[in-house]
Structure 1
Amino acid sequence: MNYTTVGRTGIKVSNLCLGTMSFGGDADKETAREMFRASREAGINFFDTANVYNGGKSEEILGELIAEDNRDEIILTSKMFYPMSEDINAMGANRRNIIREVENSLQRLGTDYIDFYFVHMFDQNTPIEETLAALDQLQQDGKILYPAVSNWAAWQIATSLGISAKESLARFELIQPMYNLVKRQAETEILPLAEAHNLGVISYSPLGGGLLTGKYGVDKKPAKGRLVDQKRYSARYHDQINYQVADRFTKYAAEKDINPVTLAVAWVKSNPAITAPIIGGRNLEQLKDSLAAAEFEMSAEMRKEISNLSPTPAPATDRGEVLFDEFE
């Protein structure tokens, strides 16, 4: 396992992060323990969860597993935003909900601090200034070490960085966008922003909800799976081009005699802007092929070949032509 620094924080993390969304859901406590132990044995010290995952059960199970291990050696993230009850005020990135939810997460996790605390989504009803001020207070109180953000657009992150600098507030040090071979929008502005401002990046869904595992294609679909059973995943990847890319990618992996799961995670990991892809699974058997990506070193040539299997996103200005020669 290789380790890298999260942005400018000085914190060293494994080049893979174990996501625990399945803990307490598809993965019961014993299955979760197997995946946690296998991850630790592989050298992973980075674990991601959220208050909303399985109604808090993910945090509870992960907290118990960390207690059996060594909290001082674990880099832990959690998130808040989505509703945790039917209370009209039990959601959002306002001060009230942030303060309440960090306390609830700390209790479920059985710890007195969270290394990176994510705002899970952008809150259109709360000024960014209020969100940042609440997170800054949590940092001053020692309940979180660093604020983090997931699923924000580049302009929203950039705006927050400007506010943090102007108001001397703790800034976001880690971001969490979606990124895989068929969802490459992050390459347009989010990843360049992260590199420009030295932000850590842990990207989620490296397998495209299972699309890049070799089980899916234009004329191929398993009887069960996220893309079959869960509407949000089937809607996210429903475009036919995604299944065409899956076919091309599966064929490429077979030609190279590499497991497609390992290859898909390794492709994400090979992007220099990525600190660590978030991997996961329903059980240890599913997780093993993702874990294998930790030791897979992808060449620049292979990355280019794989990248050419899917459309490259248009540049942010939507002008890809070179103009400088016209003025020489």
Structure 2
Amino acid sequence: MGGAAACRPFAVPLNLRSCNRRSMTKITSPDGTPLSRLCFGAMQFGGKADDDDSLAMYEACRDAGLNFFDTAHVYTDGASETMLGRFAATERDRLVIATKVSFPGGSGRASILSSVEESRGRLGLDVIDVLYLHRWDAETPLEETFETLAGLQRDGTVRHLAVSNFAAWQVMKAQGVAATFDTRIDMIQPMYNLVKRQAEVEILPMARDQGIAVVPYSPLGGGLLTGKYRDGTEGRLTSDARYAKRYGLDWMHRCAADLAVLAEEAGTAPATLAVAWVLRNPDIAAPIVSARNAEQLAPSLAALSFDLDDALHARITALSQTPPPATDRLEEA
């Protein structure tokens, strides 16, 4: 379905017209455990991380107190969901497991239902804790999407609804439609890190106002902020054209080099500072960390115990470009 129907306006529900800020929905594991301050992204499970490395990362996360794990229908052709489900099977009720609808199929009813059923089977779950729309689908009416999602909530298949890679206006448009089906978006997943701060302009203020938990991905900037590219090490920025373009600006690489200098002064790894900087933002619920093996993951997990004081936080922030406010009135910033 698409065309003009996808663009038709909708009436804003009365409860979204209020200027009063919403309190954030409390998202916990089935046994009531609050979300951990970091989330682990299982994108590499079954891809660059083999079974042994994947299990070692899962165990390292659990040892560090993480109970929040993120995957998606499209990751590693389903291996990510399958492996995560196997690792989590013996302690499922203590965990919060999030997955995403298959975005190649769009956000229509048939695609959502088939994707969710396949994901449940792979994960070995009766109930998905958090279900994301992976991307904005301009071709499908939001009414169809959220009627379907609301039905999955009513029958107990999904606990919380979420969106990934949405602009702030798209979240609010979707939130308005969701309200007509007596549901809401509880979590969003934007890109956010020291060299990608666009979320500060509208996404973070919008989430604060609406009581939506922000779970950003890529706190290490595709590996740029680990400092590994200074010595010619290869990675996504050298092998993936999308990442090369996303993080290809000279000032971003200067920022990464300067962050490495600060990390050396602080006696820690650049990755630890990069994740700690995101963690310190009060609008962030849980940054998503990931890696190919437990050794590579360790500096990100170390951010949980790193004491990032005001002075060092200010020095790190000054390394990157603060985006102007949405109105572009710099005198009001």
Structure 1 length as normaliser, TM-score?
0.90
Q: Please say if 1:263 is aligned against 2:276.
A: no
Counterpart for residue 26 of structure 1: 48
Aligned to 1:14, the other structure's residue is in SS state coil
Q: Please say if 1:79 is aligned against 2:89.
A: no
5+ residue gaps, structure 2: 1-22, 29-33
Question: 2: CA distance between counterparts of 1:259 and 1:10?
Answer: 31
5+ residue gaps, structure 1: 1-5, 84-90, 324-328
Counterpart for residue 173 of structure 1: 186
Q: Judge conservation of contact 2:27–2:35 (CA < 8 Å) in 1.
A: no
C-alpha deviations, 1:29-69, integer Å up to 9, x for none? 111111101111111100000010000000000010011x3
Counterpart for residue 226 of structure 2: 213
For residues 203 and 47 of structure 1, do their structure 2 counterparts lie closer, same or farther at Cα, with a shift above 3 Å needed?
same
Identity of aligned residues (%): 47
Question: 2: CA distance between counterparts of 1:32 and 1:322?
Answer: 47
For residues 54 and 303 of structure 1, do their structure 2 counterparts lie closer, same or farther at Cα, with a shift above 3 Å needed?
same
Aligned-pair CA distance for 1:109:
0.3
Q: Among residues 173, 185, 190, which one is paired with 2:198 in the alignment? A: 185
C-alpha deviations, 1:151-183, integer Å up to 9, x for none? 000000011222223x14311100000000000
Counterpart for residue 10 of structure 2: none
Aligned-pair CA distance for 1:10:
4.5
Q: Which runs of 4+ in 1 moved over 3 A?
A: none
Aligned-pair CA distance for 1:127:
1.3
Q: Please say if 1:251 is aligned against 2:264.
A: no
C-alpha deviations, 1:268-320, integer Å up to 9, x for none? 11110100110010001101111111122322332222111000001100112
Aligned-pair CA distance for 1:231:
1.6
C-alpha deviations, 1:61-102, integer Å up to 9, x for none? 0010011x310001000001333xxxxxxx101111001100
Counterpart for residue 103 of structure 1: 117
Q: Among residues 154, 175, 178, which one is paired with 1:164 in the alignment? A: 178
Equivalent residue letter for 1:205: S
Counterpart for residue 58 of structure 1: 80
Counterpart for residue 86 of structure 1: none
Question: 2: CA distance between counterparts of 1:119 and 1:64?
Answer: 24
Question: 2: CA distance between counterparts of 1:322 and 1:253?
Answer: 32
For residues 98 and 263 of structure 1, do their structure 2 counterparts lie closer, same or farther at Cα, with a shift above 3 Å needed?
same
Q: Judge conservation of contact 1:81–1:121 (CA < 8 Å) in 2.
A: no
Q: Please say if 1:278 is aligned against 2:288.
A: yes
Aligned-pair CA distance for 1:322:
3.9
Equivalent residue letter for 1:105: S
Q: Please say if 1:154 is aligned against 2:168.
A: yes
Q: Please say if 1:46 is aligned against 2:68.
A: yes
Question: 1: CA distance between counterparts of 2:156 and 2:232?
Answer: 48
Aligned to 2:330, the other structure's residue is in SS state coil
C-alpha deviations, 1:186-220, integer Å up to 9, x for none? 00000111111111111000000010001124xx4
Q: Judge conservation of contact 2:127–2:156 (CA < 8 Å) in 1.
A: yes
Aligned to 2:283, the other structure's residue is in SS state coil
Equivalent residue letter for 2:74: V
Equivalent residue letter for 1:80: V
Q: Please say if 1:139 is aligned against 2:139.
A: no
Q: Judge conservation of contact 1:226–1:233 (CA < 8 Å) in 2.
A: yes
Question: 2: CA distance between counterparts of 1:168 and 1:175?
Answer: 19
Counterpart for residue 17 of structure 2: none
Question: 2: CA distance between counterparts of 1:7 and 1:71?
Answer: 24
Question: 1: CA distance between counterparts of 2:264 and 2:95?
Answer: 36
Question: 1: CA distance between counterparts of 2:271 and 2:307?
Answer: 14
Counterpart for residue 9 of structure 1: 26
Aligned to 1:98, the other structure's residue is in SS state helix
C-alpha deviations, 1:212-257, integer Å up to 9, x for none? 001124xx431x2111112221121111111111111111211222
RMSD: 1.4
Q: Please say if 1:119 is aligned against 2:138.
A: no
Q: Judge conservation of contact 1:267–1:298 (CA < 8 Å) in 2.
A: yes
Structure 2 length as normaliser, TM-score?
0.89
Counterpart for residue 57 of structure 2: 35
